[in-house]
């Protein structure tokens, strides 16, 4: 099918984009990579009269390190993340997650910013955003503001961004030394959305105690979620099998999955959550300790 007719705009700056968003209000939608928006338009699930393509705004396609943080422009593609040297050295979890998204064609067009704004409860980036305690910088008619990862997702396909606001940048703190990471994903077939996805970020002290724990899960609740109780349980404890088994059970209890005829029952997803959290924690601590 073809989408209904719409007007297409390609601003060259964020300010120009904001003028368009203010002018057309709820009748405008930002086009990032288009991996979610275009199929919705073509199937006529939605009709948007005005499309604002942000992909040609240079400052939104940068990856930079500033004062112990990594800043990723909202139009940086999954391919750029997958092949970024600075991310490989500073936050390799981002590179790991990007490799699980779709296929090469999707990664060449899709963006982290677009995925987060789409807020698909089965999207890969949401779990990573939460595990790393990211922050989203958004710009609107009333200026610029920052939204913490824990406050970003409101409901399925809904964020706490206000109408007319545009995501410009995602910021992640660089993990401390002796850190490890993992992304565990069950999917029906290669490139599919997650049946369950788990992002893990750990830091380990010199005496083997957990000093930072980030556990994000996708496809097990109406939004991506952060397993805060499991994180709190891990802090200050020795990193070993029994601790991880208990943390995985706690994390699974925090999920709120739904029965799905394509991807399994709620009971199945909760069980898989426990398995993947446990596997992820073990892989993350191995990386933190330099085990190949």
> Of 149, 173, 197, which one is at a domain's C-terminal end?
173
Cα separation, 51 vs 132, in Å, equals 31
Residues 6+ apart with CB under 8 A from 142: none
Q: Within a domain: residue 61?
A: no
CATH of residue 204's domain is 3.30.390.50
Residues 133-155 have pLDDT tens digits of: 999 999 998 899 999 999 999 99
- On whether both 202 and 274 belong to a single domain, the answer is yes
Q: Within a domain: residue 58?
A: no
Q: Residue 97 is inside which H or E element, if any? A: helix 92-98
Number of domains in the chain: 3
Q: Which two tokens stand for residue 262?
A: 């394509």
Q: Within a domain: residue 1?
A: no
Distances in whole angstroms, Cα of residue 46 to Cα of each of 39, 112, 159, 251: 10, 22, 18, 35
Report the pLDDT value the prediction gives residue 282, as an integer from 0 to 100. 97
pTM, whole model, 2 decimals?
A: 0.94
Long-range CB contacts (< 8 A, 24+ apart) of 61-65? 63/87, 65/90, 65/174
Report the pLDDT value the prediction gives residue 291, as an integer from 0 to 100. 62
Residues 278-288 have pLDDT tens digits of: 999 999 999 99
- On whether both 230 and 256 belong to a single domain, the answer is yes
Instruction: Check pLDDT > 90 for residue 189.
Output: no
pLDDT-derived band at 195 (thresholds 50, 70, 90) equals very high
Task: Tell me the mean pLDDT in the region 234-253.
Answer: 96
Q: Within a domain: residue 2?
A: no
State the chain's mean pLDDT as an integer: 94
CA atoms within 13 A on the CB side of 283: 16
> Of 173, 205, 226, which one is at a domain's C-terminal end?
173
> Phi and psi for 215 in degrees, rounded to 5?
-130, 110
Residues 2-39 have pLDDT tens digits of: 889 999 999 999 999 999 999 998 899 999 988 888 88
Q: Which domain holds residue 132?
A: 66-173
């Amino acid at each position: 099918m073809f989408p209904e007719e719409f007007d297409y705009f390609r601003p060259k700056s964020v300010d120009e984009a904001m003028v368009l968003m203010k002018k057309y209000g709820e009748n405008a939608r930002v086009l990032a990579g288009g991996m979610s928006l275009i199929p919705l338009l073509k199937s006529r699930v939605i009709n948007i009269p005005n499309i604002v393509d942000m992909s040609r705004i240079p400052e939104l396609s940068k990856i930079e390190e500033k004062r112990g943080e990594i800043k990723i422009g909202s139009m940086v593609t999954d391919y750029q993340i997958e092949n970024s040297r600075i991310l490989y050295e500073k936050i390799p979890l981002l590179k790991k997650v990007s490799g699980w998204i779709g296929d090469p064609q999707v990664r060449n067009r899709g963006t982290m910013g677009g995925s987060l704004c789409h807020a698909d409860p089965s999207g890969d980036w949401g779990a990573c955003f939460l595990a790393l305690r990211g922050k989203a910088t958004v710009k609107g008619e009333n200026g610029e503001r920052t939204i913490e990862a824990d406050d970003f997702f409101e409901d399925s396909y809904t964020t706490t961004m206000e109408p007319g606001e545009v995501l410009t940048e995602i910021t992640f703190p660089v993990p401390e030394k002796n850190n490890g990471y993992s992304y565990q994903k069950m999917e029906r077939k290669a490139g599919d959305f997650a049946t369950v996805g788990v992002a893990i970020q750990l830091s380990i002290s010199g005496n083997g105690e957990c000093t930072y724990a980030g556990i994000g899960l996708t496809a097990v609740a109406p939004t991506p979620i952060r397993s805060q109780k499991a994180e709190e349980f891990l802090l200050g404890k020795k990193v070993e099998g029994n601790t991880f088994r208990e943390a995985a059970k706690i994390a699974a209890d925090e999920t709120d999955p739904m029965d799905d005829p394509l991807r399994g029952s709620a009971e199945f997803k909760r069980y898989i959550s426990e398995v993947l959290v446990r596997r992820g924690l073990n892989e993350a601590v191995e990386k933190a300790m330099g085990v190949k």
